[in-house]
Structures are given as C-alpha cells and as structure tokens.
Amino acid sequence: MAPVTAASIVPREHDNEIDQTVRKLVSLKPLGHGSSNNAPKAGTAKEWVEKLPGSTRRRFQKHGIDLSKGYPIIPNPEDIPTYVDEAFEIRNTDYPFEDRAKFADPKKEALFKAAKEVKHLTKFVGTELVGLQLSELTDKQRDELALLVAERVVVFFKDQDISPQKQLEIGRYWGQIERHPQAPYVPLSENITEDSTEDLAKGSGITTVWRKFFEEYYGFNNGFKNRQYSFHTDVVHERNPASYTSLTIDAFPKYDGDTIWASGYGAYDKLLPAFQAFLDGKTAIFRSAHTYLDRENPLRGPKYIEREHPLVFTHPVTGWKSLYVNRSMTVRIVGLEPDESKTILEFLFNVYEKNLDIQVRFHWQPNVEGLQTTAIWDNRISQHVIIPFDEHDETEKRHGTRVITLGPVKFDPNSKSQRESLELSSN
C-alpha cells in the first residue's frame, strides 16, 4: 500500500473549506490511541509480515489468510473519522440483539458431553472445557456456551485448531460484530462487510492483538520501567458495548503474558446493601481508547468519544447484577460533584482490582505445540488485565486475534445479585 499523503485525502461530500484543511492536517499527523506517544504511521508496513511469530504465520497460511498486502491491515486515514461526532455516530442506532444464551439448555448437556473434562478454575469465575474444538460446535452447543459464559464470566479452550474466519463466524452467530475504525485487523478475502452498513468502520471484524507491533508502530512506551497495564473492559464507548468476546492466542510467551479476569457479579456482591442501593439506577460516562477532534474547536487537540451507561448492569439471561465500571475508561458518575464521583469511582475500581477471590488468572500456553488457546468472556460482567511480559525478548512473542460481539447494557431494578439469586450468605 502506498503511503497516504495530504494530497491523496478525498474530501467528504459535505466538507466545507475548514473541514478539508483539518482532514489534510490530520492525514499528515493522524490521530490514534490515547496512550500512544507518537502519531500512527500511515499505510500497511509489509515488513511486519516478516516479524510475525512462526506459529501465527503457519496458522494464517493453513487457513488462507492473504498476507501479500502486509499485516496487519491498518485503516486508511481517509476511512478514519476525523471528528468525534463522526465517530460517535458509528453504530449509533438500536440493533436487534437477542442473547443466544436464552435458547440454551440450562443443563448444557450437549456442550458438556462433547468435552472430555469440565474444569471450574475457581468457585464462581472461570471454566476450562477440555478436549473440545470450538470450530466443531453446533448451534445448540454455541447457545449453551453463551449461557456458560454468562454464568462463569470466562471460559477457556486449550489445544484449539481454529481459523480466524471460524472465530468471526461464532461471533456473528451471537450478534453484531464490532469493526473498529482505527484498530489494525486481519485481512479476509471474502466479503467482510455483509453485516455492516457503516462507511467509516470497514475492518474485517477480527482485530489484531500484537503488543510488539503496537509498541513500535504506535509509539507506546513499554520498556521495563513503564510496563504497566490497567484493568479494563473493551469498547465501552459504543452505544452497544462489547458483550461476548473471543481472543485466540497463537503465539505464546513461555512464562508471562497471563491474563486475569475479575467478575462484575462478585464486585457488586462485595458492596454493602446500602451502597448497592445507592448505585442501582445511576449512570456514568465512559470514554473511548482512541481520540478524534472536536468539530467546534479542532485546534484544541485530541478528544475522546463519551457515552453514558448504567453503573450497574443486569445480565439479560442470568438476571444477576454486575458492577459496570473500569479504571481505564469510566470518567465520571452522572449527577455527582467531581470530587464525589472521583472518590466513589476509585473505591469501585479497587473493589474489582484488589479482591482476589473474584478473579481468575489464566496461563495461555497450550498442551500441544502448534495449536492455539481461546478465551471467551462477556465484557459486560467483567474486567481483565494482561500480566506484563518482555516483548523485546524474541523467545517471548505473543500474538492473537480478537472478535467482539456487541450487546446492550441495561439495568433492571427488579433484578438480584448473584449471591442473592443463589441464596448465598452476603456476610
């Protein structure tokens, strides 16, 4: 792909002279991730194909992923929203979402019978299904898997042979796919926009997760002294945020690179009843990870998308309440003074992050070399964080592909907490 220059930017249909000038300036120094120290580079760097871990390359070659135009595919600047109001409007409509877990057999017999072993990694959070291939699941088993995720927060599958295309197919089965206007993605040869009506979100729906690429290409400062990651929930700035999410890791650090998930059900149940009642029904403002410009004041600098969601989410299938906040992207509580909001949010962040008994830590390394490991979780009832690893060590490579299904975040005042519903002590 040829480098993108200001001269190559095509003005949009309704641009005025100022808009055209701003878009040309942005093309020379594109916006990007809010944590980046440098502007992203334009175009796709073919040399990154040569830096792919061998296990990733073999997986892609086996399943027909075309790397001839480079990898990952990086959205062209002319396809990236310049202004925050443009980005806000992406998928800013109601989308018919019916949680497939509603159609599942509560006993999940078809799913469990296909597995050699069902391993609950903690009492309430995290389950590993052994001896099951995700690529071979029937629709009935996919429904039961959705229910298992809704109940257990995150489900793991080691020793997988799964293509990015099949990973996308499963995500599509569960609902609308997130295509990020700025995130690098896996190229697909087939029609990748058959379920997309957006003009500014043209990715395949399979996002690249490759820290070494992000660090070098986007300018993240990720040396040993700065190697810190925060608990977070994905794409909370969407009208319908991330729900069922799959991450398939196909290149593994030997020692580190584990991921921790924390349960929103457990976090809510950690709160005293009076505090729960105070939070129920309240909303907060959540921001995007990537930045854009304010159309009214484009010279002011980067600006995040902001979206309002409930502080407490009721899962539509389990009926359990989940605390819906995260340190990385929850900005403020609506209706409170700034100092009040800051104090309460800091407390809620710590509830998620410091209560080890509502967390599960997972080591991705498969049992069989050359195969992949997949985790599937519901972002609406969890937070997660990666354990830092040394991307500069050639023996510690980590690469994965992610697919996000979007779903609404709503609060039901008649819902119960997990412990209340299961008639467990709250003491």
Q: Which domains, from first to last, does the chain contain?
A: 18-421 (3.60.130.10)
Backbone angles phi, psi at 237, to 5 degrees: -80, -5
State residue 45's pLDDT score: 60
Mean pLDDT of 112-123: 98
- Residue 136 Cα distances to 128, 132, 140, 141, 368, angstroms: 17, 8, 11, 9, 18
Rounded Cα gap, residues 93 and 216, in angstroms: 36
Number of H helices, E strands in the chain: 12, 15
Least confident of 10-24, 55-69, 271-285, 324-338: 10-24
pLDDT digits (tens, 9 = 90+) for 402-418: 999 999 999 999 999 99
State residue 97's pLDDT score: 93
Three-class secondary structure of residue 405 per DSSP: strand
State residue 254's pLDDT score: 82
**Cα 103 to the center of its chain, rounded Å:** 25
Selected residue with higher pLDDT from 75 and 7? 75
- pLDDT over 80 (residue 387): yes
State residue 76's pLDDT score: 82
State residue 391's pLDDT score: 67
- pLDDT over 50 (residue 199): yes
- pLDDT over 80 (residue 26): no
Rounded Cα gap, residues 281 and 277, in angstroms: 8
Q: Band the pLDDT of 9: cuts 50, 70, 90.
A: very low
Rounded Cα gap, residues 235 and 406, in angstroms: 9
The answer to whether 286 and 309 are in contact (CB under 8 A) is yes
- pLDDT over 80 (residue 138): yes
State residue 6's pLDDT score: 34
- pLDDT over 80 (residue 193): no
* Mean predicted lDDT score pLDDT of the chain: 88
State residue 223's pLDDT score: 61
Mean pLDDT of 376-394: 88
Handedness of CA 86, 88, 94, 98 (dihedral sign): positive
> Alpha-carbon dihedral of residues 279, 283, 288, 293, nearest 10 degrees?
-140
- pLDDT over 70 (residue 7): no
The answer to whether 243 and 378 are in contact (CB under 8 A) is yes
State residue 380's pLDDT score: 98
Q: Does the predicted TM-score (pTM) go above 0.85?
A: yes
* Helices 164-174 and 139-152, packing angle to 10 deg: 80
- Give me the residue label for tokens 């949680």: 99
Q: Which tokens hold the place of 303? A: 């600006």
Rounded Cα gap, residues 84 and 302, in angstroms: 9
State residue 197's pLDDT score: 54
Local structure of residue 318 (DSSP, 8 states): T
- pLDDT over 60 (residue 42): no
Mean pLDDT of 329-341: 98
Selected residue with higher pLDDT from 13 and 178? 178
Q: Which tokens hold the place of 358? A: 């509502």
What is the share, in percent, of the chain residues with pLDDT greater than 70? 84
- pLDDT over 70 (residue 20): no
User: Residue 312's closest CA among 340, 339, 297, 333?
Assistant: 333
